[in-house]
């Protein structure tokens, strides 16, 4: 427990909040910058005296449940929450709570993009695509079972690789395995990631070979060549923005302005997804 920094961090986060930020009535007279100690204690369901002792660098070490309550009361981000747990001498809770629900903020961002984009899980399950992404890659949201994951399809379904030039396949394989290794290693209790790895080890010798190399790297940006059935090969930059909980990723495909690939992307908007209709 880092008593000094814990007290300082709590005080500074408390002073950065206003009553209206946490649903409290500010009242007419406030001499304290930000929230009062008693207000934080009320929000965290603890005694004012106990909270005050923490800020005053005295008293007993707060429990993990108390630290979690303070993180909620102070509206901490996940990075700030993890920092608070470390200051109190605890390992922070696992961030990953994977679901098919897409964060509203990501959906709003997706709606405003004029380039191919999609939201996936950290296990490469496509949750939603805009129309240009469907036109570029086909509908990736209709799969069921383990095939929902691009990682699984890449190593078990030859059709998945037809979207990319053959000479790029090895690099994609290495990238996907390193990404999955990072997700798998992040939380030992992640049964979904563990099951996907076990399936791939059993079904794909290529995956098993690359898995043994123990490369670890979360994808954040990359360069891809996509083979479109009508337009041909399009070279794209791929930016990957990871949500705070690390389980959602907004993936954007863009081309250099004024390039032939940018012109192909414009043509993609005209062609649409008609070539993928089955």
Does the pLDDT of residue 34 top 60, yes or no?
Answer: yes
Helix H or strand E encompassing 235? strand 232-242
CA distance 120 to 127: 5
Domain boundary pick from 54, 87, 120: 87
The reply to whether 34 and 158 lie within a common domain is: no
In a domain, 224, yes or no: yes
pLDDT digits (tens, 9 = 90+) for 151-185: 999 999 999 999 999 999 999 999 999 999 999 98
Mean pLDDT of 243-257: 87
Total domain count for the chain?
A: 2
The reply to whether 148 and 258 lie within a common domain is: yes
In a domain, 70, yes or no: yes
In a domain, 202, yes or no: yes
The reply to whether 62 and 198 lie within a common domain is: no
Domain boundary pick from 30, 58, 87: 87
CA distance 249 to 183: 13
For residue 75, the enclosing domain spans: 3-87
The reply to whether 181 and 248 lie within a common domain is: yes
To 5 degrees, how large is the angle CA 74–CA 76–CA 81? 115
The reply to whether 246 and 188 lie within a common domain is: yes
The reply to whether 72 and 166 lie within a common domain is: no
The reply to whether 263 and 148 lie within a common domain is: yes
The reply to whether 110 and 211 lie within a common domain is: yes
Q: What is the chain's mean pLDDT, rounded?
A: 88
Instruction: Name, in order, each residue with C-beta under 8 angstroms of 143's C-beta and a sequence gap of 6 or more.
Output: 153
In a domain, 97, yes or no: no
pLDDT score for 277: 45
Q: At 160, which CATH number?
A: 3.30.450.180
In a domain, 134, yes or no: yes
pLDDT digits (tens, 9 = 90+) for 91-140: 887 766 677 778 778 888 888 899 999 999 999 999 999 999 999 999 99
Distance (Å) of CA 78 to CA 75, 84, 195: 9, 10, 26
| Closest to 124 in 3D by CA, of 148, 95, 101 | 148
Cβ pair 194, 202 in contact under 8 A: no
Q: For 246, which DSSP code?
A: S
pLDDT score for 205: 97
The reply to whether 175 and 249 lie within a common domain is: yes
CA distance 7 to 14: 11
pLDDT score for 273: 58
Q: How many residues does the chain have?
A: 278
pTM assigned to the model: 0.69
Distance (Å) of CA 267 to CA 26, 60, 193, 211: 55, 66, 38, 39
Cβ pair 40, 14 in contact under 8 A: yes
CA distance 209 to 35: 56
- The pairing of strands 221-228 and 117-121 is unpaired
In a domain, 238, yes or no: yes
CA distance 241 to 176: 16
Helix H or strand E encompassing 41? helix 37-43
């Amino acid at each position: 427990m880092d008593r000094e920094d814990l007290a300082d961090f709590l005080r500074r986060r408390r002073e950065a909040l206003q009553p209206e930020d946490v649903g409290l009535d500010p009242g007419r007279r406030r001499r304290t910058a930000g929230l009062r100690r008693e207000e934080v204690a009320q929000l965290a369901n603890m005694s004012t005296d106990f909270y005050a002792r923490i800020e005053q660098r005295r008293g007993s070490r707060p429990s993990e449940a108390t630290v979690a309550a303070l993180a909620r009361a102070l509206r901490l981000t996940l990075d700030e929450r993890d920092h608070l747990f470390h200051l109190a001498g605890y390992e922070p809770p696992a961030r990953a709570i994977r679901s098919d629900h897409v964060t509203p903020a990501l959906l709003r961002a997706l709606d405003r993009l004029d380039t191919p984009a999609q939201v996936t899980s950290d296990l490469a399950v496509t949750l939603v695509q805009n129309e240009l992404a469907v036109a570029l890659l086909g509908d990736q949201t209709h799969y069921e079972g383990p095939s929902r994951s691009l990682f699984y399809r890449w190593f078990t379904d030859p059709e998945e690789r037809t979207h990319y030039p053959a000479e790029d396949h090895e690099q994609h394989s290495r990238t996907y395995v390193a990404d999955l290794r990072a997700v798998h290693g992040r939380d030992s209790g992640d049964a979904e990631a563990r099951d996907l790895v076990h399936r791939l080890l059993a079904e794909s010798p290529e995956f098993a070979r690359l898995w043994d190399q123990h490369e670890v790297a979360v994808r954040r940006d990359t360069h891809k060549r996509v083979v479109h059935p009508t337009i041909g090969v399009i070279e794209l930059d791929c930016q990957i923005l990871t949500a705070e909980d690390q389980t959602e990723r907004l993936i954007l495909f863009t081309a250099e302005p004024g390039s032939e690939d940018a012109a192909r992307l414009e043509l993609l908007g005209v062609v649409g997804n008609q070539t993928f209709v089955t």
